[in-house]
């Protein structure tokens, strides 16, 4: 079984000039660079997020769509949880 997901990843500099990522897994996947940059500027200018007195999202740096593909080889977790517990107990 193959599972695909797409996340919009926003990268900002915080008040200490360190990179901070904001991942948005349910974001629309057709946004333009202008739309995303405008939204990031709005987030930064809101000054609504701080941690330990440091602005978390101070300066927009970049934005990317990150795609992830997971291919499961097997998954025994559904019907065999009792057996897995027994095996672990003997190890």
Dmax (CA) of the chain: 58
Residue range 7-16: mean pLDDT, rounded: 97
Domain spans of the chain, in order of start? 2-90
H runs (alpha helix) in the chain: 33-46, 81-90
Is beta strand 2-13 parallel, antiparallel or unpaired with respect to 19-24? antiparallel
- Enter the pTM of the model: 0.75
- Computed over every residue of the chain, the mean pLDDT equals 90
The C-alpha atoms of residue 8 and residue 31 are separated, in whole angstroms, by 10
- pLDDT tens by residue, 45-88: 999 999 999 999 999 999 999 999 999 999 898 765 555 555 55
Instruction: For the chain, give the percent of residues with pLDDT over 90.
Output: 77
Task: Tell me what pLDDT residue 67 has.
Answer: 96
Residue 60 CA to residue 52 CA, distance in Å, equals 20
């Amino acid at each position: 079984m193959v599972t695909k997901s797409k996340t919009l990843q926003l990268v900002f500099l915080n008040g200490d000039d360190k990179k901070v990522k904001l991942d948005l897994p349910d974001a629309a996947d057709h946004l333009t660079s202008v739309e995303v940059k405008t939204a990031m500027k709005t987030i930064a200018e809101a000054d609504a997020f701080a941690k330990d007195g440091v602005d978390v999202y101070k300066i927009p740096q970049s934005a990317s769509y990150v795609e992830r593909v997971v291919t499961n080889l097997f998954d025994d977790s559904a019907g065999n949880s009792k057996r897995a517990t027994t095996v672990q107990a003997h190890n």
